[in-house]
Structure 1
């Protein structure tokens, strides 16, 4: 259906050969295939290729097919979006006051400035990181939370399947599990691309749950309150960029 989002459509190959900036905005496995396609096309000599993939190590490794030819690449990942997918799920202010990770590769300073200027109106906080550090950080702040939400929904269905059909669940549960409604195709791809980090982080979370379990077993109200207060303070500090 025509949503009036573009003025003119072209094939990926044709558009890529006349573009000054190419933004690869599909799932990671699609981006990997597109990089291979681009490596076999005659592109503009000063073209900048960038992406918005949720993992960076595999993409930066694949981008060597481009950089070894002298084609400039800039890894990217905007920390923006929701559990919804597709073009209808976007909105004008999607990137406002968000963090945008950049992995430089061989992009020139001039090209990076040009790319950032395209997003000037959104007050984005750009952060340069290595591909390894990106995948580690985003694993904790995005991939692990999604894994926990998916798992919690599975647990509730297994233990409360009949009861869940009869009640209107509270806002806390809906907030906690909102991201479990995210696109399974996209997230299975993300999980597989960052599986080593995610497996370690699941282990870390299991240890954290065991710590809470031990505190509860001690039946020490003061210790329980201290644990919750620490979590409250950490969570409140996460909102500093929105204030």
Structure 2
């Protein structure tokens, strides 16, 4: 007698991403972010370098940042979690969402991806009609005083970078919390949040929120950009740590108490 029981189709098991795959995803995602936002600032926004461009302005650069993170998160988020930012990695570790042992390899991968993105832009600029000029990258670098599009000083710049990054971490932690029914829309919420925050911060600092993006731009932006890059490293990391600590202390504690 033959068995007439219909076979039950089962989805093939998917192996968890390896460490190498995760780090490669962070390299590629950060590359996309830097290439997208700094490329827009250099080639399409009139304020980068002081002239030229297609004048998409602050709004165009803010959208480029949000969209770059959005597409990178959808493409590589399922592999690595889609950090693409040392401040995000450290903030997630502080919040207990990411292991400290993995944090520093992630940060190294993000720096590699960011520098690859800015180096490719350097090669394009250097072979363009005017050749390489550090002022082009200085105009897209983050900072204060001379590097601030609005002429804001160091205190304003530090406050803006710190607390916009803290807000960014609040959103990331909120939309990726366990039990969220719309988790697939998390990259959209994160990308839109970055766009809004960039609209606030671009006139003040040129909008960093990301030490890797700032370092990758500053290395080709001359002594002024390199001299101010400390702020774009310290302030976003401080903001991310603040955001991660507050979220863990307030919301994760409340969730455990109600369980």
Question: TM-score range, shorter-chain basis?
Answer: under 0.3
- Structure with the largest fraction of strand: 1
What TM-score do you get using the length of structure 1 for normalisation?
A: 0.22
What TM-score do you get using the length of structure 2 for normalisation?
A: 0.21
Which one scores higher on RCO, CA 8 angstroms, separation ≥ 6?
A: 2
- Structure with the largest fraction of helix: 2
